[in-house]
Amino acid sequence: MKKLSLLLFILLLLIALPANAKRHEDNTYKMAYINLDWWEKYRDPILREYMLKIYNDNPDIKIAAIKTEQSNQVVKMSLGQELPQIGFNPNISREFASSDVYFGNVIIPNYTQSRFLLPLTMSYEVDIWGKNRQVTKSFSKELEMEKQNERAAYILVTSAFASDYFNLVKVDAILKNQQRLVELQKNIVDFTEKKYNSGLCPVTVLLEEKQLLTNFEEQLNSLKEKQDVLENQLYVYLGDRTNHNIKRASYADLYPVTVPESIDSTAIKYRPDMIRTEKYLEKTGLLVKVARKEFLPSFTLYGQVGFNAYQLNKIFTHHTFLSNIGVMPNIDLFTGGRKMAHFRYSKLEYQKALQYYEKTVLTSIQELNDSLVSAKTTDKNRKISDERYEIEQQKFELAERKQNIGASGNIELMKAEERLLESENSKISGRINYLISTINLYKAVGGLDYNKLDESGSNNDV
């Protein structure tokens, strides 16, 4: 019993150690794809804090993590099928014979007796052809695919959150300017009405100013609506129904991330969809081999060891010991074409996986190129809007000087301020659009820092 206990302890220890190592490996893998270093580039501690909260609380990421763990359990179940199966199948029966039983000249009269059968049953399919091992490997590929799905879910959710977060910062800044525009335009309408009543301007000028006021008010209402919608979307990403206050940074505190002139197309190999498609291709290749080996015979070892007695008090005596062992070969001679159809189906699945792989390569390169072009274009537009704002700033300063020396009236100064505010809104939009384009580029390279990619498309942090 001491030896048996020691053996069981060693077996449990061997099982537990790989499990702990696997959990450590998974935690290291997950911390790698969180990639908080990337979000720190925007120099916004609030955004970084939200990224950690999303990882812990977002429902989509939790669902993806659960699916990964389910695949992990499937791998363990498949591994269990490779190991010997041992079961305890006791049988306690009472037999009643009501007539004589003849064995040639020997007569056994009617009788009543009990039987106590306590066997341990073992069966093991000898994996001569490696079929069961390849089945387990195919499930391991499925697990790798689910890991990439989890990583993709994190990249998509955090990218969408950051885009909406920056849009909310943009709306806050533009909304403040829009309120000032409405206030200025109301003053302009009041001045224009006085001029019209005094006969100093035609009615068309007054109507145009009133119409412009309605446009500004309509834009203000749309901005307020967009602000509420963005906040509601951010609540969902955070997975917190009790949160009713989205903290965010000021527009002036946001820091732009630089965009490289070019990114090698080999950078797509780190994208989750590329890795997932590669694993899918490997999995279908293994399943073709498994389907081919289904035509080969299988061999099952079986045996029993236990006790068989007719009296309970003698069940553990030496003459009641029961044991047997054997080998059972099995080969299907006719299955109605089922195995051949399964083999052909597996080959077609592999061909489909090849086409998926080719399509993923093409779409990944397209998304990478499109994102890079978009980021470079928005960067150029951002610089143009900055220049336009500086021009309007100079024009507003000239309008102030003219108003101070009496060369122009209040309406001209307010109009200049309106143009300055509208130009600032364009500047704000250009800067936020550029930040969002950098997020799209980050997503296109698989959630990596594209500034750390060298000319060959490799990343030292991966």
Please name the residue that has the structure tokens 């997975």: 239
pLDDT at 324: 87
User: Rounded to the nearest 5°, which phi and psi values hold at 188?
Assistant: -65, -40
Cβ proximity of 290 and 131 under 8 Å = yes
Q: Token pair of 36, please?
A: 């908080």
- Categorise residue 436: left if φ over 0, alpha if ψ from -120 to 50, beta otherwise: alpha
Query: What's the rounded Cα separation, in Å, for the pair 452 and 462?
Result: 11
pLDDT at 379: 93
Query: What's the rounded Cα separation, in Å, for the pair 155 and 447?
Result: 6
Strand ranges (E), 287-445: 298-309, 321-330
pLDDT at 462: 40
To 5 degrees, how large is the angle CA 259–CA 261–CA 264? 100
Q: For the chain, which domains are there?
A: 31-83+129-157+250-296+336-452 (1.20.1600.10), 89-126+299-330 (2.20.200)
Taking CA atoms, 406 is separated from 400, 401, 403, 420, in Å, by 10, 9, 5, 21
CB proximity list for 360: less than 8 A, separation 6 or greater: 273, 274, 277
CB neighbours (10 Å) of residue 246? 18
- Mapped onto helix, strand or coil, the DSSP state of residue 105 is coil
Q: Which amino acid is at 286?
A: L
Angle of helix 2-34 relative to helix 45-57, nearest 10 degrees? 140
Consecutive H or E run containing 115: strand 111-126
pLDDT at 135: 93
Consecutive H or E run containing 31: helix 2-34
Query: What's the rounded Cα separation, in Å, for the pair 164 and 263?
Result: 26
Q: For the segment 183-194, what is each residue's pLDDT rounded down to a tens digit? A: 999 998 898 888
Cβ proximity of 317 and 309 under 8 Å = yes
Q: Which string of DSSP letters, residue by residue, matches 259-308?
A: --S---GGGGGGSHHHHHHHHHHHHHHHHHHHHHHTTS-EEEEEEEEEEE
Query: What's the rounded Cα separation, in Å, for the pair 71 and 276?
Result: 14
**Total-model pTM:** 0.82
Q: What is the DSSP-derived secondary structure letter of residue 119?
A: E
- Categorise residue 148: left if φ over 0, alpha if ψ from -120 to 50, beta otherwise: alpha
List of the chain residues with pLDDT < 50: 1, 3-8, 11, 14-24, 455-456, 460-462
Q: What is the DSSP-derived secondary structure letter of residue 453?
A: B
Longest CA–CA separation in the chain, Å: 142
